[in-house]
Structure 1
Amino acid sequence: MTQARQAGVLLHITSLPSGSLGPDAYRFVDKLVEMGVSVWQTLPVNQPHGDHSPYQSVSAHAGHTGMISAEQLQHDGLCLPDEVELPLHALIAKVMSRVQSGGATSRTDGHGLTWPGFARFCQTQHYWLEDFALFQSLREQHAEQSWQQWPEAYRLHDVMALQAFTSTHQDKLSLIKFTQYVFFQQWVQLKIYANQRGIQLFGDIPIFVAYDSADVWAHPEWFKLDADLNMTVVAGVPPDYFSETGQRWGNPHYDWPVMQADGFAWWLGRIDTQAQLFDVLRIDHFRGLQAAWEIPSMEPTAINGSWQEAPGHALLQAMTDTFPQLRLVAEDLGIITPEVDALRHAFDLPGMKILQFAFGGDDDNPYLPDHIEPNSVAYTGTHDNDTTLGWYQAAPEHVRNHLQHYFTQHLQQDGVEMPTSLIQLTLHSNANLAVVPMQDILALDTQARMNTPGTTEGNWLWRMEWSQLTDEKRLAFRHLVEESGRVHG
Structure 2
Amino acid sequence: MMRASGILMPIFSLPGKYGIGCFSEEAYRFVDFLKKAGQKYWQILPVGPTGFGDSPYQSFSTFAGNPYFISPEELERQGLIRKEDIPEPEEDAREDRVDYGWLYNTRYIVLRKAFQNWKGQEHPDFVEFLSENGYWIEDYALFMAEKDHFGGRSFSEWDADIRFRRPAAMEKARQELADEILYYEYIQYEFNREWTKLKKYANENDIRIIGDIPIYVSPDSADFWAHPELFQTDENNLPTSVAGCPPDGFSADGQLWGNPLYDWEYHKKTGYNWWLKRISKCAELYDVIRIDHFRGFDEYYSIKAGSPNAIGGHWCKGPNTDLFNTIREKIGDIRIIAEDLGYITDTVKKMVKETGYPNMKVIEFAFDSRDSSGRAAYYPYNYNSNCVVYTGTHDNETLLGWLGNILPEERQELKDYLGTDTEDDREIVDRTIRLVESSVADLCVVPIQDWLGLDNSARINHPSTTGTNWVWRLKEGQITEQLSDRIDKICSIYGRI
Q: What is the TM-score when the length of structure 2 is the normalising length?
A: 0.91
Aligned counterpart in structure 2 of residue 49 of structure 1, from 51, 55, 59: 51
What displacement does 1:341 show? Answer: 1.0
2:340 maps to: 332
More divergent stretch after superposition (293-302 vs 85-94): 85-94
The alignment of Structure 1 onto Structure 2 pairs a total of residues equal to 472
Q: State the distance in 2 between where 1:415 and 1:459 align.
A: 28
Q: State the distance in 2 between where 1:191 and 1:478 align.
A: 22
1:379 maps to: 390
Q: Secondary structure at the match of 1:365?
A: helix
1:399 maps to: 410
CA RMSD across the alignment: 2.0
Aligned counterpart in structure 1 of residue 381 of structure 2, from 347, 370, 394: 370
Q: State the distance in 1 between where 2:217 and 2:378 align.
A: 29
1:225 maps to: 233
Q: 2:7·2:41 contact (CA, 8 Å) conserved in 1?
A: yes
1:15 maps to: 13
Q: State the distance in 2 between where 1:446 and 1:82 align.
A: 36
Q: State the distance in 1 between where 2:78 and 2:283 align.
A: 25
Q: State the distance in 2 between where 1:241 and 1:144 align.
A: 37
Q: State the distance in 2 between where 1:423 and 1:323 align.
A: 36
Q: State the distance in 2 between where 1:163 and 1:156 align.
A: 13
Q: 2:422·2:428 contact (CA, 8 Å) conserved in 1?
A: no
| Matched AA of 1:382 | T
Q: Secondary structure at the match of 1:435?
A: strand
Q: State the distance in 2 between where 1:58 and 1:200 align.
A: 26
Q: State the distance in 2 between where 1:346 and 1:66 align.
A: 39
| Matched AA of 1:466 | E
Q: State the distance in 1 between where 2:452 and 2:150 align.
A: 43
Q: 2:51·2:60 contact (CA, 8 Å) conserved in 1?
A: yes
What displacement does 1:240 show? Answer: 2.6
1:460 maps to: 470
Q: State the distance in 2 between where 1:278 and 1:446 align.
A: 29
Q: 1:328·1:349 contact (CA, 8 Å) conserved in 2?
A: yes
Aligned: 1:320 with 2:360: no
1:81 maps to: 83
Q: 1:134·1:166 contact (CA, 8 Å) conserved in 2?
A: yes
Q: Secondary structure at the match of 1:248?
A: strand
What displacement does 1:229 show? Answer: 1.9
Q: 1:139 to 1:227 in 2, by over 3 A?
A: same
Q: 2:155·2:220 contact (CA, 8 Å) conserved in 1?
A: yes
2:496 maps to: 486
1:212-251 correspondence to structure 2 within 5 Å: 212-251=220-259
More divergent stretch after superposition (81-90 vs 422-431): 81-90
Aligned: 1:290 with 2:301: no
Q: State the distance in 2 between where 1:61 and 1:256 align.
A: 20
1:40 maps to: 42
What displacement does 1:371 show? Answer: 1.2
2:428 maps to: 418
Q: State the distance in 1 between where 2:246 and 2:442 align.
A: 31
Q: 2:415·2:428 contact (CA, 8 Å) conserved in 1?
A: no
Aligned: 1:427 with 2:437: yes
More divergent stretch after superposition (75-84 vs 290-299): 75-84
Q: State the distance in 2 between where 1:269 and 1:82 align.
A: 41
1:78-227 correspondence to structure 2 within 5 Å: 78-85=80-87, 87-96=106-115, 98-102=117-121, 115-227=123-235
| Matched AA of 2:278 | R
Q: 1:89 to 1:397 in 2, by over 3 A?
A: closer
Q: State the distance in 2 between where 1:282 and 1:159 align.
A: 37
Provide Cα deviations, 1:261-309, integer angstroms capped at 9, x if missing partner.
Answer: 1111111111122111100001100000011000111321111111100
Aligned counterpart in structure 1 of residue 319 of structure 2, from 311, 314, 320: 311
Aligned: 1:350 with 2:358: yes
What displacement does 1:415 show? Answer: 7.8
Q: 1:41·1:201 contact (CA, 8 Å) conserved in 2?
A: yes
1:108 maps to: none
Q: State the distance in 1 between where 2:485 and 2:262 align.
A: 47
Q: Secondary structure at the match of 1:378?
A: strand
Aligned counterpart in structure 2 of residue 441 of structure 1, from 451, 455, 463: 451
1:72 maps to: 74
2:419 maps to: 408
1:276 maps to: 284
Q: State the distance in 1 between where 2:462 and 2:368 align.
A: 21
Q: 1:208·1:253 contact (CA, 8 Å) conserved in 2?
A: yes
What displacement does 1:8 show? Answer: 0.6
1:6 maps to: 4
Q: 1:299 to 1:96 in 2, by over 3 A?
A: closer
Q: 1:373 to 1:76 in 2, by over 3 A?
A: farther
Q: Secondary structure at the match of 2:210?
A: strand
What displacement does 1:312 show? Answer: 2.5
Q: State the distance in 1 between where 2:424 and 2:153 align.
A: 55
Q: 2:245·2:301 contact (CA, 8 Å) conserved in 1?
A: yes
Q: State the distance in 2 between where 1:210 and 1:318 align.
A: 24
What displacement does 1:217 show? Answer: 0.7
Q: 1:408·1:415 contact (CA, 8 Å) conserved in 2?
A: no
Q: 1:50 to 1:378 in 2, by over 3 A?
A: same
More divergent stretch after superposition (92-101 vs 425-434): 92-101
What displacement does 1:180 show? Answer: 0.3
Q: Secondary structure at the match of 2:378?
A: coil
Q: 1:352·1:377 contact (CA, 8 Å) conserved in 2?
A: yes
| Matched AA of 1:44 | P
Q: 1:404·1:415 contact (CA, 8 Å) conserved in 2?
A: no
| Matched AA of 1:34 | K
Aligned counterpart in structure 2 of residue 451 of structure 1, from 451, 461, 477: 461
Provide Cα deviations, 1:122-176, integer angstroms capped at 9, x if missing partner.
Answer: 1110000000011000000001001110111011111111101111221111111
Q: State the distance in 2 between where 1:414 and 1:35 align.
A: 28
Q: State the distance in 2 between where 1:169 and 1:437 align.
A: 43
What displacement does 1:65 show? Answer: 0.7
What displacement does 1:470 show? Answer: 3.6
Q: Secondary structure at the match of 1:177?
A: helix
| Matched AA of 1:435 | V
